[in-house]
């Protein structure tokens, strides 16, 4: 055994199973075939500023299919769409105007009610305070004149 002397096998050691994957057989791939262009491009030579000449094939960029033009939108369809947007804006504006008028009417009604309560309270205070302080009418007898049972001031 190749165990060190200071290690004592204990109950904490567990058996470890090692799984080794089996390699798959290589799958033969299709050979790569270079695609030749439809026509042989012309050989082009370019002279660099330092005098060197580079020769090679001029490759044309890959051409994609042209994008088909979208059909024009009819004038009537545009007018109908704009009319619908305008109609929605007008309806929303009228709704807001109606809500504002309703809120303003409620505010005015509340202010009128508040004024009536305050004025009615003021009148009540005047009536009750006048009757509670005075038990009768005070008459200045020195200036008063009685004619035929009528009091003249």
Question: How does DSSP assign 94-133, residue by residue?
Answer: HHHHHHHHHHHHHHHHHHHHHHHHHHHHHHHHHHHHHHHH
| Nearest-5° Cα angle at 119, 123 to 112 | 155
**DSSP-assigned beta bridge partners for residue 135:** none
CA–CA distance, 40 with 60 (Å, rounded to integer)? 11
pTM above 0.85, yes or no: no
Per-residue pLDDT tens over the stretch 113-133: 999 999 998 888 887 776 555
Helix (H, G, I), strand (E, B) or coil at 71: coil
**Which of 14-18, 56-60, 108-112, 126-130 has maximum average pLDDT?**
108-112
Per-residue pLDDT tens over the stretch 28-61: 776 766 666 566 667 778 888 888 888 877 667 7
Identify how many contiguous H helices and E strands the chain contains and give both numbers: 1, 4
CA–CA distance, 54 with 46 (Å, rounded to integer)? 5
CA–CA distance, 64 with 76 (Å, rounded to integer)? 34
Mean predicted confidence (pLDDT) in 71-98: 92
CA–CA distance, 91 with 27 (Å, rounded to integer)? 70
151: CB partners within 8 A, 6+ apart:
139, 144, 145
- Which pLDDT belongs to residue 14? 66
């Amino acid at each position: 055994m190749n165990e060190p002397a200071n290690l004592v096998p204990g109950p904490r050691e567990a058996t470890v199973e090692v799984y080794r994957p089996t390699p798959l057989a290589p799958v033969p791939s299709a050979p790569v075939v270079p695609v030749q262009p439809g026509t042989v491009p012309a050989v082009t030579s370019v002279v660099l500023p330092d005098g060197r000449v580079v020769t090679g094939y001029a490759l044309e960029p890959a051409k994609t299919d042209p994008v088909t033009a979208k059909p024009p939108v009819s004038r009537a369809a545009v007018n109908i769409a704009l009319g619908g947007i305008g109609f929605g804006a007008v309806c929303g504006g009228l709704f807001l105007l109606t809500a504002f008028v309703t809120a303003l009417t409620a505010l005015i009604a509340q202010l009128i009610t508040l004024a009536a309560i305050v004025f009615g309270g003021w009148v009540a205070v005047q009536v009750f305070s006048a009757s509670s302080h005075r038990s009768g009418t005070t008459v200045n007898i020195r200036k008063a004149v009685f004619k035929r049972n009528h009091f003249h001031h």
